[in-house]
Amino acid sequence: MKKKEEARDKKTEKDEEIKEKKAKEKVKKEEKKQGEGFKEPDLPVLFVWFISMLSGKSWEYLGLIMNPETKEINKDLKKAKIAIDTVAFLYDQIKNDLNPEDFKRIENLLANLRMNYVEKLKES
């Protein structure tokens, strides 16, 4: 009787070890899948995102839109110029890799930012 119980206990332990091993393998496979699922964006995509962020700050520094956090309009032409120049620099770096739609959109964006900057400079 004791031998049967010992054999059953050993079998149970082995079953648990197998289950644990399978669970660990499953977790590793899931982690690998998630790692494969993440694809680092291309450099032009990141630059377009940076341009979008900087252009928003440019409009804010030109005093044409309010700061979304403070709900205030803060005009700072020095910061606006830096942001606009940075947008222009990023654009120059990736313009050959852009699709025609993004190319035209950023060209227009830069033209509008620059015109508004000149107007605000004249007002000062």
pLDDT digits (tens, 9 = 90+) for 33-82: 666 666 777 888 888 899 999 999 999 999 999 888 888 898 999 999 99
51 burial class (0-12, 13-18, 19+ CB within 10 angstroms)? buried
Q: Residue 88: CB partners within 8 Å, gap ≥ 6?
A: 110
DSSP state of 97: G
- Structure-block tokens of residue 25: 């393998």
Residue ranges in 38-99 assigned as alpha helix (H):
43-61, 77-94
**Please, which pLDDT band fits residue 5 given cuts at 50, 70 and 90?**
low
Residues 6+ apart with CB under 8 A from 114: 84
CB 77 within 8 A of CB 121: yes
The per-residue pLDDT for 58 is 96
pLDDT reported for residue 4: 60
The SS3 of residue 70 is coil
Give residue 10's pLDDT band: very low, low, confident or very high (50, 70, 90).
low
Indicate the average pLDDT of the chain.
84
Distance between CA 50 and CA 31 in Å, rounded?
Answer: 30
Write the DSSP symbol of residue 17: H
Least confident of 10-14, 29-33, 64-68, 99-103: 10-14
Residue linked to tokens 């648990």? 16
pLDDT at residue 15 in the model: 64
What are the tokens at 96? 């050959």
